[in-house]
Amino acid sequence: MAEDKARYVITGGSAAGMAAAQAITEQDLNGIITVLSEEPDMPYFRPLIPYMVTGKKSAGDMQMSGNGPYKGSGIDIHVNSRVDSVNVSERTVSINGQGNISYDKLLLATGSRPYLPPEIKGADANGVFALRTLADAKAMAERVSVTDHAVMIGGGLLNLKAAFALLERGVKVTLVVYSPEVLSQLMEPDDALLIRNALDRAGLKIKTGCSATGILSDKSGVTGVSLDDGSEMPCQMICIGKGVRPNVDFLSGSEIIIDQGIVVNRYTACNTPGTYAAGDVAVTFDPVTGERIMTGLWTNAVEMGRCAGYNMTGRKTAYSGTFGIMNATQIADEPFVSMGIVHTKNTDYEVHVRNTGSTYRKVVFSPDNDRLLGVLFIGDITGAGMYRYVIRENMPINEIKSLIINQRLHYGHFIRN
């Protein structure tokens, strides 16, 4: 009977939402799974969207359904379906003011949206982007035909990927960064030399120590950007990458606890019955520091989503924590991995750096020398998975510390007789 089937509703059709949906299908063969996505496109692999700008991939190449673990069968996906509100006492969600859907278990996986600093005036001009969605990538690709010069505001990973997509299209690109160096969230300025050299070789122009104050435009769209040093830079496209904010506004008055994002326990459950959260929108914990943390990483969202899906079906599964890692990420021709604690200036962490000129490997130990807390590898990311395991499992490292420092750690050291 239909009334005996559990009703699962998932708000958000990206990494966490679709991973949860797939996990539910594995555990509950009879459940009714509804995914509500506010985007116009069917769920897709978001990390691939820069390839839409380069023209190397089409929207069809990025679709989740039928690719990898996302089989899509048994999952009812609704696009253009933004959730306006949640009524936790009646267990319903309201969609675009068009009606309600009832649920037995609800997953909030609404992700995040780009942060547009209010001090940057004129950000609504045609030709201003924050590369976050497939629709953004499509619009950027179209704008390339009238763009000679693009300015990227912010030196984070996504803006760098967007910059290289535009460079491949023959567009001149300038990166404007307030920090003294790019990727400041993932490494310290002294760590970034190899990355900076790779960016220079690729032809990316970088202007540090300044911020945008306004965007100039006419009827054709963007014509330039004003900077806080008093200068103006002509351009026809601007991409703003100044971080993200969780999509939680629709939960106002819902009784669900919000502290920047949606607060969950170690089983991805919210404070209200039958309600879970996963992905960018969830406030979880860092297994290294124990502190509350939010993540924008696809891999973390997938892991958290699967955990939430299992818990929604009654298979109690603890989430092991949000752990910052960009495994095998590449900027220009430099692969790098940054995970755990890597910012060590003015701290008492024990730090070991090996810089060969073509590779850079930094390892960070706890002040008592008993734990590995973080690593940064640039150019050579060999063994990153082993280091990730040591950090995440909080392993005592007395017997293997010298191996870690001297880059001789291998999988045999994890075998127990």
> Residue 127 corresponds to which tokens in the numbers above?
């030709």
Q: Which CATH number fits domain 128-242: 3.50.50.60, 1.10.540.10, 3.40.190.80, 3.30.470.10?
A: 3.50.50.60
pLDDT at 324: 59
Strands 149-153, 92-95: pairing is unpaired
pLDDT over 90 (residue 80): yes
SS3 at position 136: helix
Cα–Cα distance between 368 and 87 in angstroms, integer?
49
pLDDT over 80 (residue 322): no
pLDDT at 272: 97
Task: List, for residues 144-167, the tens digit of each pLDDT value.
Answer: 999 999 999 998 888 899 999 999
pLDDT at 394: 84
pLDDT band, residue 128 (cuts 50/70/90): very high
pLDDT band, residue 328 (cuts 50/70/90): low
Which residues lie below 8 Å from residue 290, measured CB to CB, with a gap of 6+? Answer: none
Average pLDDT over residues 57-63: 92
Backbone dihedral angles phi then psi of residue 340, each to the nearest 5 degrees: 70, -150
Most confident of 93-97, 236-240, 399-403: 236-240
DSSP-assigned letter for residue 325: B
CB-based contact 321:314 (threshold 8 Å) = no
Superfamily of domain 329-414: FAD/NAD-linked reductase, C-terminal dimerisation domain (3.30.390.30)
CB-based contact 198:331 (threshold 8 Å) = yes
- Hey, which residues does 372 pair with through a beta bridge? 365
DSSP-assigned letter for residue 121: B
Question: Environment class of residue 193 by beta-carbon count within 10 Å: exposed (0-12), middle (13-18) or buried (19+)?
Answer: middle
The domain ranges of the chain are 2-48+60-113+245-312, 128-242, 329-414
CB-based contact 246:264 (threshold 8 Å) = no
pLDDT band, residue 104 (cuts 50/70/90): very high
pLDDT band, residue 186 (cuts 50/70/90): confident
Cα–Cα distance between 188 and 279 in angstroms, integer?
26
Give the relative orientation of helices 157-168 and 193-202 as an angle to the nearest 10 degrees: 20
Superfamily of domain 2-48+60-113+245-312: FAD/NAD(P)-binding domain (3.50.50.60)
| Least confident stretch, 17-26, 186-195, 264-273 | 186-195
2-48+60-113+245-312 and 128-242: identical CATH topology: yes
CB-based contact 393:353 (threshold 8 Å) = no
pLDDT at 75: 93
pLDDT over 80 (residue 416): no
Looking up tokens 């359904």, which residue turns up? 65
pLDDT at 289: 75
For the entire predicted model, the pTM comes to 0.88
**What is the number of other CB atoms lying within 10 angstroms of the CB of residue 1?**
4
CB-based contact 356:373 (threshold 8 Å) = no
Task: List, for residues 239-259, the tens digit of each pLDDT value.
Answer: 999 888 999 999 998 999 999
pLDDT over 50 (residue 417): no
